[in-house]
């Protein structure tokens, strides 16, 4: 009789396997759709009933992954459920649950641990379990493995355990789930083989590494590389500004070097689920080894100072007109954390708005992607997006360009706003009403 391993490989390779995706957010939903499009039967599991209902009704809840794709997957047999017992139906279990920080900026693995505790009693021989949530090296082996083996299954023999980080760039039209290479590390060689077979069914290029820890560290290196370089360029921005030099002009000139330079751009502060959070997963784990991650801490410090820097520039601008921030009306342009998306997670706009309100300013915002300001973990603004026209623009004392969506009419803004604080380098030519931040 063939082993659980060879049966699993055969099912993954002939696409008769069922792929279970646990956590159907920004990472899990596109993966579910991709496996369905690749010809697999897919089962989605989430604790959020409204997401499950949406999917079973053939509807999306994330703008960038349209309802047409969900409806197609549904017609092809995709199902969603809140019942963890159904995970026994899946041959592959891919976990995409959140990995935030707690209030002490330490890893909060609650979601990963809770998910594993819920799934463990329903796991069976012949399954491959993949963790995709971003986390510190050692999580898969320290948190998942013992929970799986507690029920009598032997990892590497009965069941196969891998870590494969998600890579995504919301709003980037050049890449999609299928075309982003996938790094995979297994607990044993048999685990890795199962992992490669799992992802080869839906993704063009697989990049195997020697262990789950190497795969976990790979994801952190990628995100820390971004966080540190953004920190560097934010520091350069502050220096260049003091010297009367336009940092964007400098970056563009430096980027003409055909080797050894990669352009990163300054901004109003970090945003999104990954870059402001993930580096601190490594910082925390490194302490166990007596190591201080100084680059991470330093770039975190520089990047976290950016919202304050932007508000300082706003106050300078108002001051030129003999005004204080207290009592003025300020319009924020773009509240999503990056351009052309509706994603609000960790957006620096919220902190900038709070700082303005804290100094007695009144805030409003305009964002074509965010019609209503959603409730956030640390911020509450009962606001709706303001429609931009000449009359509206002139009625504010200043506008702060936080996120430079393509859908804004930049000429209209320039012609009508009394004062523009540009935190994105959108306006390259200087003008009396523009201050670069
Ligand atoms: N969003 C990105 O761009 C991105 C990119 C790379 C990596 N990641 C990482 O991927 C992971 C998931 O991120 P996301 O953006 O998809 O998060 P998300 O918040 O959009 O989605 C997570 C989903 O998991 C569900 N969930 C929570 N607990 C659960 C449980 N016990 N059982 C089943 N479902 C549960 C939630 O209801 C939610 O639907 C994180 O570790 C994140 O760091 C995210």
Residue to probe by mutation, ligand 1, list 64, 81, 83, 98, most atoms within 8 Å of CB: 98
- Per-residue pLDDT of 383-399, as tens digits, reads 999 999 999 999 999 99
CA 46 / ligand 1 centre spacing (Å): 10
pLDDT of residue 30: 95
For residue 373, pLDDT over 80 is answered with yes
> What per-residue confidence (pLDDT) applies to 377?
82
Cβ of 404 below 6 Å from ligand 1: no
Residue 168 has pLDDT above 90, yes or no: no
Question: Given this model, what pLDDT does residue 248 score?
Answer: 96
Report pLDDT digits (tens) over 138-165: 999 999 999 999 989 999 999 999 999 9
* 142 phi, psi to nearest 5 deg: -90, -35
pLDDT at residue 1, as a whole number? 63
How far apart, in Å, are the Cα atoms of 39 and each of 42, 111, 173, 255?
Answer: 9, 29, 23, 42
What span, in angstroms and rounded, lies between the C-alpha atoms of 35 and 76?
11
Contact 93 CB / ligand 1 (< 6 Å): no
Q: Is 280 in the pocket of ligand 1 (CB under 6 A)?
A: no
> pLDDT above 70 covers what percent of the chain?
100
Structure tokens belonging to residue 390: 């000449």
Rounded alpha-carbon distances, angstroms, from residue 78 to 57, 258, 281, 382 = 11, 46, 34, 37
Q: What is the largest CA-CA distance in the chain?
A: 85
Q: What pTM did the predictor assign?
A: 0.93
172 pLDDT band, cuts 50/70/90, is confident
Known catalytic membership, residue 274: yes
pLDDT at 247 over 70: yes
Q: What is the pLDDT of residue 123?
A: 98
Q: Smallest Cα–Cα separation from 235: which of 280, 295, 152, 163?
A: 295
Answer yes or no: is pLDDT of 166 > 80: yes
Single out the catalytic residue among 19, 21, 22, 274: 274
* Tokens, residue 72: 């197609």
d(CA 80, CA 63): 19
Mean pLDDT over 391-411 rounds to: 98
Q: Three-state SS across the chain? A: CCCHHHHHHHHHHCCCCEEEEECCCCCHHHHHHHHHHCCCEEEEECCCHHHHHHHHCCCCCECCECHHHHHHHHHCCCEEECCHHHHHHCCEEEECCCCCECCCCCECCHHHHHHHHHHHHHCCCCCEEEECCCCCCCHHHHHHHHHHHCCCCCECCCEEEEECCCCCCCCCCCCCHHHCCEEEEECCHHHHHHHHHHHHCCCCCEEEECCHHHHHHHHHHHHHHHHHHHHHHHHHHHHHHHCCCCHHHHHHHHCCCCCCCCCCCCCCCCCCCCCCCCHHHHHHHHHHCCCCCHHHHHHHHHHHCHHHHHHHHHHHHHHHCCCCCCCCEEEEECCCCCCCCCCCCCCHHHHHHHHHHHCCCEEEEECCCCCECCCCCCCCCCCECCCCCHHHHHHCCEEEECCCCCCCCHHHHHHHCCCEEECCCCCCCCCCCEEEC
What residues have CB less than 8 Å from 334, skipping those under 6 apart? 349, 366, 367, 401, 402, 403, 404, 405, 408
Which residue CA neighbors atom 18 of ligand 1 most closely?
Answer: 25
Q: pLDDT (tens digit, 9 = 90+) per residue, 57-109?
A: 999 999 889 999 999 999 999 999 999 999 999 999 999 999 999 988 899 99
User: pLDDT averaged over the chain?
Assistant: 96
* Per-residue pLDDT at 378: 85
Task: State if residue 177 touches ligand 1 by the CB under 6 angstroms criterion.
Answer: no
Tell me: the pLDDT tens digits for 276-318?
899 999 999 999 999 999 999 999 999 999 999 999 999 999 9
CB-CB contact of 53 with 24 (8 Å): no
Q: What's the rounded mean pLDDT across residues 404-414?
A: 98
Beta strand 182-186 pairing with 160-163: antiparallel
Task: Choose the residue to mutate in 27, 167, 346 for probing ligand 1, maximizing ligand atoms within 8 Å of C-beta.
Answer: 27
> Taking the CB of residue 370, how many other CB atoms lie within 10 A of it?
23
Model confidence pLDDT, tens digit, residues 105-126: 899 999 999 999 999 999 999 9
Question: Which atom of ligand 1 lies at the shortest distance from residue 167's CA?
Answer: 6
Q: Tell me if 203 sits within 8 A of 178, measured CB to CB.
A: yes
């Amino acid at each position: 009789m063939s082993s659980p391993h060879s049966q699993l490989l055969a099912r993954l390779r002939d696409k008769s396997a069922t792929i279970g995706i646990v956590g159907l957010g920004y990472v899990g939903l596109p993966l579910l759709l991709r496996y369905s499009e690749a010809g697999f039967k897919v089962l989605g599991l989430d604790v959020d009933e409204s997401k499950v209902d949406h999917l079973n009704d053939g509807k999306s809840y994330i703008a960038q992954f349209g309802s047409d794709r969900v409806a197609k997957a549904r017609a092809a047999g995709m199902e969603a459920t809140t019942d963890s017992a159904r995970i026994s139906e899946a041959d592959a279990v891919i976990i995409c649950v959140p990995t935030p920080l707690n209030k002490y900026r330490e890893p909060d693995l609650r979601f990963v641990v809770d998910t594993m505790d819920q799934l463990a009693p329903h796991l069976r021989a012949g399954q491959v379990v993949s963790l995709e949530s971003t986390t510190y090296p050692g999580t898969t082996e320290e948190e998942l493995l013992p929970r799986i083996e507690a029920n009598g299954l032997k990892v590497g023999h009965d069941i196969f355990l891998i870590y494969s980080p998600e890579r995504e760039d919301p709003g980037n039209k050049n890449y999609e789930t299928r075309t982003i290479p996938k790094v995979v590390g297994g607990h044993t060689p048999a685990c890795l083989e199962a992992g490669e077979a799992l992802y080869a069914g839906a993704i063009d290029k697989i990049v195997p590494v020697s262990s789950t820890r190497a795969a976990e560290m790979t994801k952190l290196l990628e995100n820390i590389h971004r966080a540190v370089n953004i920190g560097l360029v934010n520091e350069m921005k502050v220096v260049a500004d003091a010297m009367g030099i336009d940092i964007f002009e400098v970056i563009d000139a430096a980027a003409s070097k055909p080797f050894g330079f990669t352009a990163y751009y300054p901004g109003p502060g970090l945003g999104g689920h990954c870059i402001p959070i993930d580096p601190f997963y490594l910082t925390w784990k490194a302490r166990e080894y007596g190591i201080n991650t100084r680059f991470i801490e330093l770039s975190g410090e520089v990047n976290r100072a950016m919202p304050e820097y932007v508000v300082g520039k706003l106050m300078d601008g108002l001051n030129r007109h003999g005004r204080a921030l207290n009592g003025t009306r300020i319009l924020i342009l773009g509240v999503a954390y990056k351009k052309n998306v509706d994603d609000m997670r960790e957006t620096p706009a919220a902190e900038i708005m709070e700082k303005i309100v804290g100094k007695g300013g009144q805030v409003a915002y305009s964002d074509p992607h965010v019609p209503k300001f959603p409730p956030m973990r640390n911020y509450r603004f009962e606001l709706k997006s303001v429609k931009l026209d000449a009359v509206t623009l002139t009625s504010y004392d200043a506008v702060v360009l936080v996120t430079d969506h393509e859908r804004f009419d930049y000429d209209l803004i320039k012609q009508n706003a009394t004062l523009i604080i540009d935190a994105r380098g959108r306006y390259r030519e200087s003008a009396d009403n523009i201050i670069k931040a």
